[in-house]
Structure 1
Amino acid sequence: MIFQRTLLREFAITGIGTLLVLLAITVTTQFIRFLGYAARGSISTDAVVTFLGLAGLRYLPILLSLALFVSILLSLSRAYRDSEMVVWFTSGQGLLSWIRPTLLYALPLVFTIGLLSLLLTPWATGKAEEYRRLLESREDVSAISPGIFKESKRGDRVFFVEKLTMDLSVVANIFVYSEEEQETGVTVAARGFTETSPNGSRYLVLEDGRRYVGPPGTAEYKIIEFEKYGVRLEEKAQQTYLPSIRSRPTNELLQERNPETDAELVWRVGMPLSALALSMLAIPLSFVNPRAGRSVNLMLAAFAYLLYNNSLSIVQTWVSQEKVTFAVGLLGPHLLTFAIVAFLFYRRVAVSSLFSKLRRMRA
């Protein structure tokens, strides 16, 4: 059917373009954010790409939902603006005829959003938390950002490196300040790298440098020149931890029912439901009045999206605080949105029918 194929092609082209733009914006902002963390020494430089990928997976359901809504809205708004709607309406394709092709386009994406929200996003969140704990438990040279003084976990050492090699395995121009019993030591070296011994101990191996050792406040310092010098890196003892509610698998949340897990389920299940509701809401919101201009419906659609998204967050908070039941929090916002969609469809169809009757009476 030409009508259906035309709409699906238009939706797909607009959707891909919208998703690419949203991904570019998200990746750029998150990349700048993690670079800032690395510059402050909060995370290691080689962890930026890993955290960026995991953050992208966490944001993907929201980006897909927004791209779905925007692609339908822009495609139908353009059809109104270019008078294509007039052609379709006169060909017998009423407003309700747009539901079927919209669902054919939206349902695969809604299913994908559901899988991401219920399965992949918790996994990515858990991996990010696990990786962050792993970095925090290590006293590694790779965790040192060039140009920044980094204190060890125990507070008895301070590291500084001037630069890293491209593969991040070797550091150059190293400064190490250490406190050992009644003496302090200052070590400078041309380069260094980490090495693991057969028994599992890890060392920072420094090459071509000097070490100054002596009691503080006196001139009795020993100067030691070395070709290779090893500094043992202590590993932080593993601590027991409880994973955050956002990182727990969905099946665990279903087994352990309490206000906190119910609130998280409201959000996860609500993502695909909201995507479906928004795809239907985009049809009546796409109407463009030539006298009012295109921006009016776009502003209204943006307001509707923000209101809907914020309502999900509010309801999630209410469920966690036991102000509303789980069933109300899970279905309430979506049923209300579908009711608004039905009203808007009824209003648009009623207005169109009224105008058709008036034209026939005048004829």
Structure 2
Amino acid sequence: MKIFKRALSAELMSSSSAIFLIILGIVVAQRAGNIVRQVSKGILPNDAIGTILTFSLVKLMPMMLSLAIFLAVLLTLTRWHRDSEMVIWMNAGLSLRQWVVPILRFIFPIVLIISLLSLFVMPWATEKAEGYREQLKKRDELSSISPGAFKESSSGERIYFIESFDKLGYEVKNIFVQSRQHGKTGIITANRGSRYKAENGDNFLVLHNGRRYEVIPNTLDVSTTEFERYDIRIETKESAPEPGTAQGKTTLGLMQDASLSDQAELHWRFAIPISTIVMVLLAIPLSFVDPRAGRSLNIMFAILIFIVYNNILSIFQAWITQGKISSWVGLWPVHLCFILLGWYLYHRRKHLKPLIPDLFKRKPKAAA
């Protein structure tokens, strides 16, 4: 019995670690690509990539851990079925129920971590991410400029182009600024410039050794001025603070608030660790491999159940927010349905029946 538990724990540990790293790499690539796309369009500044990516990963960490241990249990037991190791252990006297306790003992610390992340760390990361985005909205227009890209000011009166910044973002090179004031179009070019903040808090872009061209539309009048120094006041964005969302509130704050959106968010936070336990228990009967049905059929069916489970939880959460379902009922009907599904699958495996009944099997004809 000790050999069985030791072998199971060792393989589950290695499988869950490898699967989690794979999922983490996929999520990082997907989220980083999305953030870089926003930076290239000028929606986000360059220095916000790392911070926003970190907050996104922290928010997705509970779901990534949940999926990782579900796939680890499923793939480990599937391999044991495929390599006939499961047959050996069952012939040694192990029943299907005796697999439950070692697996639950293995996932207990992981589910505890998922609970802490879901109830405390995830709302903290959401709140910090919302606050950071508010700070980005209030930053001056020069901070959102990407090197080598044209950027229009929030008022629409200026267009900036800067070829490159220094590491700190205070020194700029090869600047182009187009502005519209008093019915005239001005174009300013300079080889280098710098930023500074005045005593009253205003930000300025200082251009050195450049030229200013002033053009009156629909005329041929063009005036050229060379300068050694030219100061441009940088506009700052003023935006009203947006109200905090339910995702950014603490769990204690959700318990004290009676709004439907807060109650729905509270049920969702508790649903993540609960669904993890349910899906891991479902992975035990789902790991059975029928040699005649192919090696990957059970894995595809298990992943389909995982996706359906989480999508139905999201639907019920939306219904709670809309008032279609009482907050006292919450997401428990979804958990109960999948617990009953697990009981059904255990019952069929216990009696060595296929997990999905063959409804289209032809009955043998009676002898004449």
Q: Given the superposition, is the C-alpha separation of residues 222 and 255 from structure 1 closer, same or farther in structure 2, using an over 3 Å criterion? A: same
Secondary structure of the structure 1 residue equivalent to 2:290:
coil
- Counterpart position of 1:152: 153
Rounded to whole Å, the distance in 2 between the matches of 1:32 and 1:240 is: 28
Deviation at 1:117, TM superposition (A): 1.6
- Counterpart position of 1:109: 110
| Counterpart amino acid of residue 28 in structure 2 | V
| Counterpart amino acid of residue 263 in structure 1 | A
Deviation at 1:185, TM superposition (A): 2.2
What whole-Å deviation, never above 9, does each CA across 1:307-359 have from its counterpart, x for those lacking one? 1011101111111122222232231211221222122222222338xxxxxxx
- 8 Å Cα contact 1:149-1:158 kept in structure 2: yes
- 8 Å Cα contact 2:55-2:125 kept in structure 1: yes
What whole-Å deviation, never above 9, does each CA across 1:247-271 have from its counterpart, x for those lacking one? 2222222111122112212221111
- Counterpart position of 2:209: 208
- Counterpart position of 2:255: 254
- 8 Å Cα contact 1:195-1:204 kept in structure 2: yes
- Report which stretch shifted further, 305-314 or 114-123: 114-123
- 8 Å Cα contact 1:204-1:232 kept in structure 2: yes
- 8 Å Cα contact 1:142-1:169 kept in structure 2: no
Deviation at 1:216, TM superposition (A): 4.0
- 8 Å Cα contact 1:150-1:159 kept in structure 2: yes
Deviation at 1:290, TM superposition (A): 2.1
- Counterpart position of 1:70: 71
Q: Given the superposition, is the C-alpha separation of residues 105 and 193 from structure 1 closer, same or farther in structure 2, using an over 3 Å criterion? A: farther
- 8 Å Cα contact 1:139-1:235 kept in structure 2: yes
Gaps of 5+ in 2: 354-368
Deviation at 1:167, TM superposition (A): 4.8
Rounded to whole Å, the distance in 1 between the matches of 2:287 and 2:57 is: 29
Deviation at 1:222, TM superposition (A): 4.2
Q: TM-score, normalised by structure 1?
A: 0.91
- 8 Å Cα contact 2:39-2:45 kept in structure 1: yes
Secondary structure of the structure 2 residue equivalent to 1:292:
coil
Rounded to whole Å, the distance in 2 between the matches of 1:293 and 1:238 is: 58
Q: How many residues were matched structurally?
A: 352
- Report which stretch shifted further, 66-75 or 204-213: 204-213
Deviation at 1:286, TM superposition (A): 0.5
Q: Given the superposition, is the C-alpha separation of residues 99 and 240 from structure 1 closer, same or farther in structure 2, using an over 3 Å criterion? A: same
1:44 partnered with 2:45: yes
Select the structure that is richer in helix: 1
Structure 2 matches for 1:8-87, cutoff 5 A?
8-87=9-88
Rounded to whole Å, the distance in 2 between the matches of 1:84 and 1:99 is: 17
- 8 Å Cα contact 2:12-2:76 kept in structure 1: yes
1:231 partnered with 2:245: no
Q: Given the superposition, is the C-alpha separation of residues 244 and 3 from structure 1 closer, same or farther in structure 2, using an over 3 Å criterion? A: same
Secondary structure of the structure 1 residue equivalent to 2:328:
helix
Deviation at 1:105, TM superposition (A): 1.7
- Report which stretch shifted further, 243-252 or 276-285: 243-252
Q: TM-score, normalised by structure 2?
A: 0.89
Secondary structure of the structure 2 residue equivalent to 1:179:
strand
| Counterpart amino acid of residue 63 in structure 1 | M
RMSD: 1.9
- Counterpart position of 2:129: 128
